[in-house]
Amino acid sequence: MAFDGFSPDAFAFYAELEANNERPWWLANKARYDEQVRAPFEALGEELEPVASSVKIYRPYRDVRFSHDKTPYKTRQGLFAQRAPGIGWFLNLDASGVWIGGGFFGDATFTKAYRAAVEAAGPGTELEGVIEELTVAGYELGGEQLKTAPRGTDPEHPRIALLRYKWVTARRHLSPADASGPALLDALFDMVDEVQPLVGWAAANVAPKR
C-alpha cells in the first residue's frame, strides 16, 4: 500500500473517540481504525525505512495500571522513526491534525549526557544555533523541563533555559486539510531534513557511547 495521506475520517475517528473512550465503541469502530489509521501508518512507516534504523508504530491501548485515568484507548496515534535509541523523528495524529518533528527522549542517563553537552561551550553553543534556526523556520521547542535550575547547576549559566530540559524535541502542526493528501509525505521528508541538525546533535552528544 502506497502512502497518500490520511483520510478525513482518521481525524473524525479520534474526535469521536475522545467523546466515547470505552470498549464497546472501540469494538464497533475497530474496522475504521484498522483502515483509516493503522494501514496508512504502516504504509508511512515503509516510506521512512530508508532514513531510520527502525520504525515503531505505537499501540492504541493505554497502560492504565498505575493511572487514575482509566480510559482504555489513546486519543492519538504515534510513529517514531529511530536513528539511534531514543533519537529520531516522529509523527502524531489526533483530532486536531498531525504533529511532525524530531529530537530525543530517554531516561536519566540521557538527561545527564544532554546537560553535560549543553554546559560545555562547543556543543552547547552549537545547540543554541540549531534551536534558533528551527524556531525561525516555524518549529516549536518541546520536551519535559524543570521550573528551576537542575540541582548542582549554576542558575546564572548562559544556557540555563536549555539546561532545565530533560529532553528536547522540535515540532510543527499540520491541519487535517494539510495532512489529508499525498503532499504530507513531502512535508514529512522536508521536516526530516530540517530537523536533522537537532537529531544529529543528539546522536553526537547524547546517545550512549559504545
Domains of the chain: 8-205 (3.30.930.20)
| Residue of 151, 153, 100, 159 lying closest to 130 (CA atoms) | 159
Model pTM score: 0.92
Q: Cell 522513526 maps to which residue? A: 81
- The model's pLDDT over 63-84, given as tens digits with 9 standing for 90+, comes to 888 888 899 999 999 999 999 9
- How far is 196 from 208, CA to CA, in rounded Å? 19
Q: Where are the alpha helices (DSSP H) in 49-142?
A: 108-119, 121-136
Tell me the C-alpha distance between 152 and 165, whole Å.
14
DSSP code for 156: T
What tens digit of pLDDT does each residue of 104-133 get?
A: 998 899 999 999 999 999 999 999 999 999
pLDDT for res 106: 86
pLDDT in tens, the chain (210 residues): 789 899 999 999 999 999 999 999 999 999 999 999 999 999 999 999 999 999 999 999 998 888 888 999 999 999 999 999 999 999 999 999 999 999 999 889 999 999 999 999 999 999 999 999 999 999 999 999 999 999 999 999 999 999 999 999 999 999 999 998 889 999 999 999 999 999 999 999 998 776
Q: Are 74 and 60 in contact (CB under 8 A)?
A: yes
Q: Residue with C-alpha cell 541538525?
A: 197
| C-alpha atoms less than 13 angstroms from C-alpha of 141 in its C-beta half-sphere | 18
Q: How many CB atoms lie within 10 A of CB 159?
A: 17
Who's near 193: CB < 8 A, 6+ residues apart? none
CA dihedral 101, 103, 104, 105 (to 10 degrees): -40
Rounded to the nearest 5°, which phi and psi values hold at 76?
-155, 160
Q: Which residues contact 161 (CB under 8 A, 6 or more apart)?
A: none
What's 110's DSSP letter? H
